[in-house]
């Protein structure tokens, strides 16, 4: 006689910590860690914190993403989560620009300045949640939302008109603008307390 064990439906582990390798592929890439705490078997509080160390503009800073997730579909060995997350990012960039103007002849201006960028916003997420053994979990998914962007710049050592700083951003004044957030998510977590 063959006896088969009944596998239970997926639930969130009580407490886990992890790393998010997909943060290396971000426009503002960095090392991102996560902490998750289940408040019910199907409801999870999560926070991801990243140190940003690279970007097209040589930025350094941090990102924090707290949220709440729910297992909306639960199967044996796999689940589908939906959640709402807040986003906050702060970076400091150092940029050197070369501006060329035609006025009978070409002129080049070297323009060195630092700029801080931050944004805050919210995003809705959907992830596939896969427990792997008793101590590991995998999450694959993404999110879509909106954020309010703030940019503050200071020019050094050459002080020139504000126009040149904003020209880099295609003549758009990004201060206090609202824009989209879209990201892909991959997280590996270690279950500290099952």
Q: 173 phi and psi, to 5 degrees? A: -85, 105
Give the DSSP letter string of 121-143. EEEEEEEEEEEETTTEEEEEEEE
Angle at 178 between CA 173 and CA 181, to 5 degrees: 120
Name the token pair of 132: 């792997």
Instruction: List CB contacts of 175: < 8 A, sequence separation 6 or more.
Output: 149, 150, 151, 152
The phi-psi region of residue 133 (left if phi > 0; otherwise alpha if psi is between -120 and 50; otherwise beta) is: left
CB 55 within 8 Å of CB 93: yes
CA 126 to chain centroid, in Å, comes to 14
pTM here is: 0.74
Instruction: Please list the pLDDT of the chain residue by residue as tens digits (194 residues).
Output: 333 344 689 999 999 999 999 998 887 889 999 999 999 999 999 999 999 987 666 789 999 999 999 999 999 999 999 999 999 999 888 766 555 555 655 555 545 667 788 889 999 999 999 999 899 999 999 999 999 988 876 655 444 444 444 444 333 344 568 889 888 999 999 999 87
Contact by Cβ (8 Å): 77, 52: no
CB neighbours of residue 143 within 10 Å: 22
Euclidean distance between CA atoms 29 and 31, whole angstroms:
7
Record: fold of 15-193: Porin (2.40.160)
Enumerate the H helices of the chain as residue ranges.
Answer: 162-167
pLDDT of residue 113: 65
Secondary structure (3-state) at 165 = helix
Q: What is the pLDDT of residues 155-164, one digit of tens each?
A: 554 444 444 4
């Amino acid at each position: 006689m063959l006896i088969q064990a009944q596998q239970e439906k997926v639930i969130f582990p009580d407490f886990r910590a992890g790393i998010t390798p997909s943060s290396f592929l971000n426009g503002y890439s960095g090392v991102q860690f996560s902490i998750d705490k289940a408040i019910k078997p199907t409801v999870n509080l999560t926070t991801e914190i990243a140190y940003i160390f690279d970007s097209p503009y040589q930025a350094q800073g941090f990102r924090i993403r707290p949220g709440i997730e729910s297992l909306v579909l639960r199967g044996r060995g796999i689940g589908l989560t939906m959640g709402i997350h807040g986003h906050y990012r702060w970076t400091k960039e150092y940029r050197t620009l070369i501006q060329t103007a035609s006025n009978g002849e070409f002129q080049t201006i070297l323009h060195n300045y630092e700029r801080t960028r931050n944004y805050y916003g919210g995003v809705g997420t959907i992830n596939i949640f896969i427990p792997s053994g008793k101590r590991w979990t995998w999450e694959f998914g993404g999110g879509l939302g909106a954020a309010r962007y703030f940019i503050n710049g200071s020019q050094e050592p050459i002080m020139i008109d504000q126009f040149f700083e904003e020209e880099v951003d295609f003549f758009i004044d990004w201060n206090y603008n609202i824009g989209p957030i879209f990201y892909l998510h991959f997280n590996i977590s270690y279950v500290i307390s099952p």
